[in-house]
Structure 1
Amino acid sequence: MNNLPTCLRCTYELRDDETGRQLCFRCEDRAAQNLAAIPGPRGLYAQLAQHLQRGSSSGGPAVSGSKAAPAPLRLDVLNLQSAGGPVLGPLEGWVRVWEEAGHADLNEAGSLQQRVDHACRTLRYNLRWAAEAGPAVDEFVHELEVVERTLRGTTGGEKPPRRIVVTCPCEQPLRVTLDTRGLTCPRCRTEYGHSEVLRLPLAERRAAA
């Protein structure tokens, strides 16, 4: 059995210059890129404003050629923009976790855009510490990937990866996508790599519900 240290996220073996780290440099760099893509006036979060009205998913601002009432707003985009939604909620949640460890500062003042910018900035500034010794850093990277992928899918017209449910030999249903790099079964703690988890049998409908 291979007992060499591995990256908590991608499960690849750590190289000699990565000894003692929790994340490999590649996963840390990917997290930094995601944190850089979200904030700012041209970032993915700001781009949501261009997709509020139904029919405005082309990327440009919605334009009305008549005095008729504007199209209904997209509730999914409004949810992404909200304070407790699936973007700012997780970002500030991790700032709180890191703040308790003495490596971040939460700031809930200002507009929602300013709060997103601050959260991404402080998380990116402290990312090296998290990659080396931060709490639950694999969960952080996973949630950050979900946030970035959701924003990019909404603003760029890309559909999020289709989720399927497979079954571990211990009969635990596992939700995965074609992008899943690996996971650990929460019941039996068996670790699966990317190809291994995709070879598991599909779950029956009632097990997947």
Structure 2
Amino acid sequence: MPETPDLADYEWPTCPCGRQLRNDELGRVACRLCQDRADTVLRQLPGPKGLYAGLARVLVPGVGSGVRVTGSRTAPLPLRLEPLSLQARGGVVTVLQTWLVDWHELLEWRHPRWRGGLQQQLDDVVHALRVNLEWAASSHPAFGEFTHEVSSLVRQCERQISGERPERTVSVACECGTILRVTVSTPGARCRGCNTQYGRGEVLELPLAERVAA
């Protein structure tokens, strides 16, 4: 007779966020809550009232961004570099397109084609990513990294538009010694050294790298 597996050695599958998958989520990479969060985050970017379009309204220093114009004799730059880097080629649109290309390659689909200006490309790539979120959350091995990167982009856009100061980043140490850079709102992190996946609560409980070094 075949040996009965020892259930004590079985580790219940978890989502990249650290939450254990429910019975109806077994076989998926990520839980449905993370899939819904990714969809919510993506929906904030497109359209004339979306965050991406909002970056154009805060390119000029002191205009619509909550950034105060000082009395300094030094002339300000013609454009604010932070929102410009997010809006330009290589910023938000390029990051999202890179993920879509990756998904197409895994699915063995034809390379996606971009049309129109950057705003239209942004709208199109967000639509394509949202359409395929169910597949990605079920099968893509890097869905956790995707949600983390997209959430980070959205937070950066929000801060540039509102004038909010960026979150403080701290260095924490994994048990293997690898240093992880996290913020208070970090949803979770995977250690590059030992591949351990930490949920939000777990990664925030890791010791500070400075204390470990001391």
TM-score by length of 1: 0.83
Identity of aligned residues (%): 47
Out of 41, 47, 66, the residue aligned to residue 54 of structure 2 is: 47
Matched to 2:112, the amino acid is: L
How does 1:26-175 map onto structure 2 within 5 Å? 26-58=33-65, 72-85=78-91, 87-100=92-105, 101-102=107-108, 106-175=112-181
Q: Which of structures 1 and 2 has the bigger CA Rg?
A: 2
Shift of 1:27: 0.5
Instruction: Out of 116-125 and 181-190, give the one that drifted further.
Output: 181-190
Task: Report the equivalent of 1:188.
Answer: 194
- The farther-off stretch of 128-137 and 36-45 is 128-137
Q: Is the 8 A contact 1:23 1:131 kept in 2?
A: yes
Structure 1 pair 158/103, CA: closer, same or farther in 2 (3 Å)? farther
In the superposition, relative to structure 1, how do residues 45 and 178 fare at CA in structure 2: closer, same or farther (>3 Å)? same
Evaluate the alpha carbon distance shift between residue 136 and residue 192 of structure 1 in structure 2; reply closer, same or farther with a 3 A threshold.
closer
Gaps of 5+ in 1: 60-68
Higher relative contact order (Cα pairs below 8 Å, separated by 6+ residues)? 2
Which secondary structure does the structure 1 equivalent of 2:207 belong to? coil
Kept in 1: contact 2:148–2:187 (CA 8 A) = no
CA distance in 2, matches of 1:196, 1:174: 12
Distance across 2 between alignment mates of 1:151 and 1:104: 31
Does residue 7 (structure 1) correspond to residue 19 (structure 2)? The answer is no
Q: Which residue of 1 aligns with 2:6?
A: none
Q: RMSD over aligned Cα, in angstroms?
A: 2.4
Gaps of 5+ in 2: 1-8, 67-74
Q: 1:16 aligns with which of 11, 23, 34?
A: 23
Give the 3 Å change call, closer, same or farther, for CA 158–2 of structure 1 in structure 2. Answer: farther
What's the TM-score once normalised by structure 2's chain length? 0.81
Deviations 1:123-162 (A, max 9, x none): 0011111111124111111111111111111112333321
Q: 1:70 to 1:184 in 2, by over 3 A?
A: closer
Do the aligned partners of 1:38 and 1:45 also contact (CA within 8 Å) in 2?
Answer: yes
- TM-aligned CA distance change 1:144 to 1:23, over 3 Å: same
Q: Distance in 2 between matches of 1:52 and 1:25?
A: 36
The number of aligned residues is 195
